[in-house]
Structure 1
Amino acid sequence: MKVMFSKALIVCSSSLALSVLTATAYSADKVLKFHSGYAESRPEAGFVNEFAELVSKMSDGALQIDVYHAGSLGLKEPDMLRILQQGAVDMALLYGEYYSRDAPELSAVYAQGAIKEAEEHLEVLPTIRDIYAQEYADWGIKTIGGVVSPVFDVGVHCKQPASSIEDLKERKVRVWSAHLVDTFTRLGVSAQVIPQNDMYMALQTGVVDCAYYLSTVAETVSLNEVTDFESYIHPWAAAPAMFGVSMKTWETLSEEQQQTLQEAGQEIWEKTRALAVDPQREAKARENRESLGITMLEPFSDSDVEQFQSAAFQAWETIAKRAGEDGLSIFNEVTHKIQENNQ
């Protein structure tokens, strides 16, 4: 169980104090404030807007969701569990890996290398959703659906040809998390975390030779300008972003209003789940990269993928153990489900 924090322990910015802690004046209509840390240009933000529209439509305007994108309420992501627990905002789009300070076990829910086929993601999603529901409930947060992120291809993008673990042992590789550094280190590959905004320059100046990246959207960060070769490794293990409602708010709602939120949240979940795995989308994105001059190499061999997954599971278990008993329990539950699906 999580420790309950008093309001005095929550560090709020002046904008939070002015924007959020001011009591919302409810009339006959209920208006809920929804925090999203994503920029409005992100696909996830579009689905949050669609959720808000659904709620308004289903309730004939009696229940409204005011969405504040890009953290415009002045709230900070690491504080979100505490903020929702105290009811300082009504709702938020929750991404578990942001909360490693207060709930390190949420970082152990899913990890890169967890799946080898995109369809496996859909099979493990119910388990992941149940875990999030239980963990967020410990913080006084009700989950009502959310956004299932698309399962993109993940590959290595290099200046010189590289399509095997052996090839990468001669390269320096950019990755996006400590878990991936550990994974590649176990394979004898030099890897370092470089933020996305610095990745282009790191490749251009030779700080790294390759970037491990979401190949499907590599074009959006101009990787084709600083790399010439690409090789596919595995599908992205994309943790879903959940719609969370503060229980302090939830308990003020009528049963009809609660049902409206649940039905709208479920509709967005089902819609985004149906869009998550799309071979045609991935093939089209691959063609686009080839048209930009990228040479598509053979994907990593089955043997290499097995080695990568084994190293990733070991690194994942290390993170889970650091998170304590809850983290290890979550790791065991998710990996058991993945292995069960593969039998």
Structure 2
Amino acid sequence: MKLKLAFAAATLALAAAHAHADNPKLRVAGSLVSGGMIQQHKEQPFFENFAKNTGLPLDAEYKPVDVLGVKDADGLRIIKSGLFDIVALRLAQVSRDEPFFLGPDLVGLSTDYDTARKVVDAYSEAFDKRLQERHGAKLLGTYPFGPQVLFCKGAVTGLADLKGKKVRVSDLSLAKFIEKLGGIPVTLAFGETQQALERGVADCAITGPSSANSAGWPEVTTHVMPIGFQIHLVAYAMNLKKWQALPADQQAKLAAAFKRYEADTWAYSRELWNDASRCNVGQQPCNGKRYALKEVPATAADRKVVRDALTSVSLPLWAEICDKSFDKCSATWKQALGPVIGLK
């Protein structure tokens, strides 16, 4: 019922905007405002100057999903419904409806930008096929928030120190990994995490350096461990009927525009990650807000624990869940990504 009410409210808002439109407009539900700089400095300008950026006789009616009052976890339902023409899908969140889409971001897999780029490229064909067949949408592109790292309130020297600590996580595979370390996973929305850290509901939390910097996590934590667990991906999907209604030349222009946008956002994400990593520990140059967290270097042993988590925790767990909803899930994953990561 809440989802239907949100759809209705968003429909009225967009209908009002269309009444004053000069050109046909695509209805776009973008990333969360709370997601930070990529939404503000890349996504919003791209869609607000859509005709110019794509060379198409189309504009975009763009709103971040949280401004629309729609939950990001409902992204696949929104795009399939036809209410929106393009939707930014946070893969960790929409994987509750489609586990296959978490495949390129399992714990221990895409732990750095270079690996993540190879993984996404190798997985995109299977991702797009599943998106079209099951959810009536076309994959346009992706971007990463960047390697997700550990922030703690109180001293830690390594992953072993998470034993007994309450750690904010964002998906099931990360929760199981924290459990294996002896920690207590706490599932919290990103916007609730700073207050949870401040009040002791969570002792530690995992996110990207830039997101943490924008949300003020370093104000309520003391230590950061720059070891990547996942990279957190966003994918842009277009309603398949809307895509198929475009002439072939317009499809080509739109695909080319998103390819440029994708390359731009991946590069910008890496710049933000590096800058925020410096800012959070008080180093220069820093274009964000400077803090004074204590950096805890990741040891080779801790990095191995994360790498091994792919085959010992996250892949078996995910495969079991995903194969129940899609019988070719894990086999497709291994065919696409096995050669990339050296897994038979």
TM (normalized to structure 1)?
0.79
Aligned 8 A contact 2:119 2:337 in 1: no
Distance of aligned partners of 1:68 and 1:214 in 2 relative to their CA distance in 1, 3 Å threshold: closer
Residue in structure 2 matched with residue 3 of structure 1 by the alignment: none
Corresponding residue for residue 307 of structure 1: 305
CA contact (8 A) 1:56 1:62 kept: yes
Partner of 1:36: 30
Q: Percent identity?
A: 19
**Does the C-alpha gap of structure 1 residues 135 and 191 become closer, same or farther in structure 2, counting only changes over 3 Å?**
same
- The 5 Å alignment of 1:120-269 reads 120-138=115-133, 139-146=135-142, 148-152=143-147, 154-160=149-155, 162-169=156-163, 171-234=165-228, 236-239=230-233, 241-269=234-262
In the alignment, the residues of structure 1 paired with residue 68 and residue 212 of structure 2 have an alpha-carbon distance, to the nearest angstrom, of 31
Secondary structure, in 3 states, of the residue corresponding to 1:191? Answer: strand
Relative to structure 1, the CA distance from residue 98 to residue 27 in structure 2 (aligned partners, 3 Å threshold; closer, same or farther) is same
Q: What is the alpha-carbon distance in structure 2 between the residues aligned to residue 71 and residue 11 of structure 1?
A: 15
Residue matched to 1:336: 338
Q: What is the number of residues matched between the two proteins?
A: 329
Are 1:143 and 1:245, in contact at CA under 8 Å, matched by a contact in 2? yes
Relative contact order (alpha carbons < 8 A, sep ≥ 6): 1 or 2 greater? Answer: 1
CA distance in 1, matches of 2:190, 2:113: 24
Q: Could you list the per-position Cα deviations for residues 242-298 of structure 1 after superposition, in whole angstroms to 9, with x for gaps in the alignment?
A: 33221221232223322221121111012122334347525533443796332223x
Which amino acid letter does the alignment assign opposite residue 90 of structure 1? D
Cα deviation, residue 124, structure 1: 1.7
Counterpart position of 1:5: none
8 Å CA contact 2:279–2:291 kept in 1: the answer is no
Change (3 A) 1:258 1:219: closer
Contact 2:92 2:232 in 1 (8 A): no
How far off is 1:319 after superposition? 2.2
User: What's the offset of the Cα at 1:179?
Assistant: 1.9
Moved segments of 4+, more than 6 Å? 24-28
Report the more deviating stretch, 241-250 or 199-208. 199-208
CA contact (8 A) 2:32 2:65 kept: yes
How far residue 74 of structure 1 moved from its aligned partner, in angstroms, is 5.8
Asked whether the 8 Å contact 1:36–1:68 carries over to 2, the reply is yes
Q: CA deviation at 1:233?
A: 2.0
| 8 Å Cα contact 2:73-2:90 kept in structure 1 | no
Question: How much has 1:237 moved relative to structure 2?
Answer: 1.7
Q: Distance in 2 between matches of 1:135 and 1:175?
A: 26
Does the C-alpha gap of structure 1 residues 198 and 306 become closer, same or farther in structure 2, counting only changes over 3 Å?
same
Question: Residues of 2 paired with 1:143 and 1:16: CA distance?
Answer: 23
1:155 counterpart SS class:
strand
| Structure 1 unaligned blocks of 5 or more | 1-9
Residue 298 of structure 2 aligns to a residue whose secondary structure is coil
Structure 1 counterpart of 2:264, one-letter code: K
Aligned-pair CA distance for 1:51: 3.0
Alpha-carbon displacement from aligned partner over 1:146-204 (angstroms, at most 9, x marks no partner): 4x2242461242312x1223322253433333322210212233332233344334434
Counterpart residue number, 2:287: none
What TM-score, normalized to structure 2?
Answer: 0.79
Distance 2:38 2:238 in 1: 21
Unpaired segments ≥5 residues, structure 2: 285-289
CA RMSD of aligned residues (A): 3.6
- Partner of residue 6, structure 1: none
Map Cα deviations across residues 115-140 of structure 1 (whole Å, 9 max, x no partner).
Answer: 44442222222023323212211122
**2: distance between equivalents of 1:277 and 1:317?**
30
Could you tell me how far apart the structure 2 residues matched to 1:27 and 1:233 are?
47
* Cα distance in 2 for residues equivalent to 1:201 and 1:331: 37
The match for 1:296 is 295
Partner of residue 268 from structure 2, selected from 264, 275, 287: 275
Q: Which amino acid aligns with 1:329?
A: A
- CA–CA distance in 2 between the matches of 1:71 and 1:200? 18
Aligned pairs (5 A) from 1:8-27: 11=4, 13-16=7-10, 18=12
